């Protein structure tokens, strides 16, 4: 080795995770986004349904309704944060439909996301059932029920309050999902300049507001995958066909179809009243200084 020569550059050290990433990283964007939607939706439903299980099985003594809502919102915040940079963390066919109608995602991505989200919701609720299997058995004596004092189906899917009519249910889910998508449109609109790192927190807070104001009628499902995936799971684990025939088949389809309509309405209400008219840059915004007012 000549005295003026430099030693060979050492290869940077890679730990086990980095080496595994090099080996197993999925290069296809659609595949990794779909996988991300599955995993994040499963995470959301697992933690959220566990919070509901604690609330229902303890009859509100361990955590009250507010604690249950915080559990779901915490689950949503981390679920959105998990996949925000990979798939956008829709976690909801209504949100994916909203993004599809405004041209942000393709038709094939929309369909694959729905499948991944619904399957993820099924798996997430299954994990909750396994975790709380003994507690559920102790609560209902092994007799799975949809209604009554020992009903536990509400841990997994939503069911309407006794006062709610079918028309009222449709209106409830449509309005709540429209509010959801107006909020998401506001938070994610690039012209609003909301930093990416804080958007998951804002989305979680927005859903918390919906939960604290629009949940009394039917539990604010506002997510076809979140409701239908767990409903199918409960059908298979002993709750029977009643999960679908509840109220003479006038409920189970409401949180599946109406959120899609609500997403469409919310997305275009936001664009029509706000998005189309927003300045492209902050400097173009109206100056609200009172000295400028004539």
165 CB-near residues (< 8 Å, 6+ apart): none
CA–CA dist 119, 39 (Å, integer): 9
CB 110 within 8 A of CB 87: no
With b meaning 16 or more CB within 10 Å and e meaning fewer, what string describes 254-282?
Answer: bbbebbbbbbbbbbbbbbeeebeeeeeee
Q: Spell out the per-residue pLDDT of the chain, length 294, in tens.
A: 455 554 555 667 888 888 888 888 899 999 999 999 999 999 999 999 999 999 999 999 999 999 999 999 999 999 999 999 999 999 999 999 999 999 999 999 999 999 999 999 999 999 999 999 999 999 999 999 999 999 999 999 999 999 999 999 999 999 999 999 999 999 999 999 999 999 999 999 999 999 999 999 999 999 999 999 999 999 999 999 999 999 999 999 999 999 999 999 999 999 999 999 998 876 554 454 444 444
CA–CA dist 78, 69 (Å, integer): 14
CB 75 within 8 A of CB 85: no
CA–CA dist 35, 127 (Å, integer): 18
CA–CA dist 239, 220 (Å, integer): 22
pTM (two decimals): 0.91
Structure tokens at 86: 């990979």
């Amino acid at each position: 080795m000549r005295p003026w020569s430099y030693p060979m550059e050492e290869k940077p050290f890679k730990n086990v995770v980095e080496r595994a990433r090099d080996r197993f990283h999925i290069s296809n964007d659609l595949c990794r986004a779909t996988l991300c939607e599955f995993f994040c939706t499963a995470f959301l439903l697992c933690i959220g349904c566990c919070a509901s299980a604690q609330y229902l099985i303890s009859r509100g003594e361990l955590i009250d309704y507010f604690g249950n809502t915080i559990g779901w919102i915490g689950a949503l915040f981390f679920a959105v944060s998990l996949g925000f940079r990979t798939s956008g963390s829709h976690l909801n066919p209504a949100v994916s439909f909203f993004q599809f109608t405004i041209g942000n995602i393709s038709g094939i991505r929309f369909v694959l996301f729905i499948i991944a989200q619904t399957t993820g919701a099924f798996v997430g609720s299954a994990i909750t059932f396994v975790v709380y299997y003994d507690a559920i058995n102790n609560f209902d004596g092994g007799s799975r029920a949809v209604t009554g004092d020992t009903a536990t189906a509400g841990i997994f899917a939503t069911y309407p309050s006794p006062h709610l009519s079918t028309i009222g249910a449709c209106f409830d889910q449509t309005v709540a999902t429209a509010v959801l998508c107006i909020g998401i449109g506001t938070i994610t609109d690039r012209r609003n300049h909301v930093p990416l790192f804080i958007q998951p927190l804002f989305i979680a807070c927005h859903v918390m507001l919906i939960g604290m104001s629009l949940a009394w009628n039917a539990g604010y499902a506002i997510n076809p995958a979140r409701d239908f995936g767990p409903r199918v799971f409960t059908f298979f684990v002993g709750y029977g066909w009643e999960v679908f025939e509840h109220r003479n088949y006038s409920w189970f389809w409401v949180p599946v179809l109406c959120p899609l309509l609500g997403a469409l309405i919310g997305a275009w209400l936001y664009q029509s009243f706000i998005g189309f008219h927003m300045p492209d840059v902050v400097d173009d915004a109206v100056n609200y200084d009172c000295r400028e007012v004539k």
